[in-house]
Structure 1
């Protein structure tokens, strides 16, 4: 026991110092201002057109998109920290949401935004990063889907090559990015003062303020759109590659692997249709058959002739994994539901599955499995 503890302690200390050394070598901090996508509190100006859940889903998708882009950038360069400053939710919620993006190669931390106006938050985010020894800090919002690694790298290059401050202009008169080098640290208490936040004057006022303080400022050439209003939804469609309808109405492909299931497949198919809250959300039912020797194919064909739901019968190599993979390859819906061929599926299963996937951090879900008990009569 004591030998184990004596070995464990120096290993733990070594790990701590290795972590600290990695942090020290990170010369750039990228701060993302985001909001936990809780329906009803997120992207409220989109609620009239997308509903509470659709508006929250748009926030979820945009944040996932930009954080993934920045994670890839962090892995490539190895000297970039990513800090998510959030509103709403809890730290536990945020850590769960970001768990898939926090790796040894991509350092992602979360911190609740402090109280105060936007200017106060920007000042604190920039000051904290530079006071921790970072040479540069870049601050962006999570609702600018057009931001990519090239834009972030361009901002960092400007700070490396003599600029004390950099701004990225937004189409609405604000800005989507602000960055500083250590040379601007002495001006951080003043640079965000007297700005009419939330107006079309923000970019001009911020530029004028920087120049009045003698800050050597540069401006990125790209003008980007943030997403706040109905007319901005086209930006999500373009940058994330999804259709507006997909924000509010999901389509499902139900994939069922089969092998000699003539006794149960029709009942399962009937329940899939009957217990769906909105049958129009079923893009198709994909049957992946591993070589049935009974009447499974006939039963599926009979079902397809009496339903309006599209049914595909795919013959493939036997083996559940192979069959599920083949079914996925033929699926066209936005989301996938995998169902056993003898399942008694719950009512409104599509709604429950959607709510599961709307939770930030969830990428899949499953029902608990129960078995019908078959008792042998006592003679």
Structure 2
């Protein structure tokens, strides 16, 4: 089977995942403020398993960038099929920029990054993101909270990671403004909802029923 015109072969597509090891009191802290640490940890495990499942069929080199684990972290998940890297220092933008830079330095032609907060994410969204990069400079998966659940690009644009108030409702708009200012072509994926609060969790569970 041949690749579509201008499509990067699977080895040139990199899927990056930012994650934490499951650990009581250190994951889903905003959710834990409403539900308690144990319930928040259980939700995180569900989200992590979901993200791994939808990423598994994607034809790409997969790398998980793991936050520093605490003393009680669950290290049992061996992340089969993933290259493992420790998250670099800095704020979220600096971490993501470093992850993208490594992939491009290693010859990637299309790089997509996701987190572990989005239960609505599907394999189809990830496939669509890589397909969009055949004809667009940047692909963005907007989240309902004003951030994004996915970012993809086919070369490094450092401006997209700078001067952002991370974890606020301004991130998506600021990123789109950068794309417009740089005169880049942008593909927007469907808007999805992250699970960060008890209200988000209720919406997820209601949609699943």
TM-score band, normalised by the shorter chain?
0.7 to 0.9
Q: Which residue of 1 aligns with 2:187?
A: 218
1:302-332 C-alpha deviation (Å, 9 max, x unpaired): xxxxxxxxxxxxxxxxxxxxxxxxxxxxxxx
Q: Secondary structure at the match of 2:161?
A: coil
**Is the aligned partner of 1:169 residue 2:154?**
no
Q: Which residue of 1 aligns with 2:151?
A: 178
Q: Which residue of 1 aligns with 2:166?
A: 197
1:196 offset after TM fit, Å?
1.9
Q: Secondary structure at the match of 2:88?
A: coil
1:94 offset after TM fit, Å?
7.4
Q: Secondary structure at the match of 1:200?
A: coil
CA distance in 1, matches of 2:18, 2:143: 16
Q: Which residue of 2 aligns with 1:63?
A: 48
What is the number of residues matched between the two proteins?
199
Higher relative contact order (Cα pairs below 8 Å, separated by 6+ residues): 2
Q: Which residue of 1 aligns with 2:132?
A: 158
Hey, which of these two has a bigger chunk of helix by percent? 1
* Contact 2:140/2:187, CA 8 A, preserved across alignment: yes
**Is the aligned partner of 1:33 residue 2:3?**
no
Change (3 A) 1:86 1:236: farther
Change (3 A) 1:53 1:94: closer
CA distance in 2, matches of 1:196, 1:133: 30
Q: Which residue of 1 aligns with 2:201?
A: 233
1:50 offset after TM fit, Å?
2.3
Match of 1:54 among 24, 32, 39: 39
1:207-242 C-alpha deviation (Å, 9 max, x unpaired): 11122122222211x111111111011244257x58
- 1:1-379 residue pairs with structure 2 within 5 A? 26-71=11-56, 73-74=57-58, 77=59, 80-89=60-69, 96-99=76-79, 102=80, 107-160=81-134, 162-181=135-154, 184-185=155-156, 188-220=157-189, 222-237=190-205, 241=208
1:131-169 C-alpha deviation (Å, 9 max, x unpaired): 111111100110111110111111111101x21111111
* Contact 2:34/2:197, CA 8 A, preserved across alignment: no
* Contact 2:21/2:75, CA 8 A, preserved across alignment: no
* Contact 2:68/2:87, CA 8 A, preserved across alignment: no
CA distance in 2, matches of 1:51, 1:120: 30
* Contact 1:138/1:177, CA 8 A, preserved across alignment: yes
TM-score by length of 2: 0.87
1:107-152 C-alpha deviation (Å, 9 max, x unpaired): 3122221111111011111111111111111001101111101111
Change (3 A) 1:25 1:45: closer
Bigger shift: residues 140-149 or 211-220:
211-220
Q: Which is greater in Rg?
A: 1
CA distance in 1, matches of 2:203, 2:84: 26
CA distance in 1, matches of 2:49, 2:64: 11
Q: Which runs of 5+ in 2 are unaligned?
A: 1-8
CA distance in 1, matches of 2:15, 2:64: 8
Q: Which runs of 5+ in 1 are unaligned?
A: 1-23, 243-379
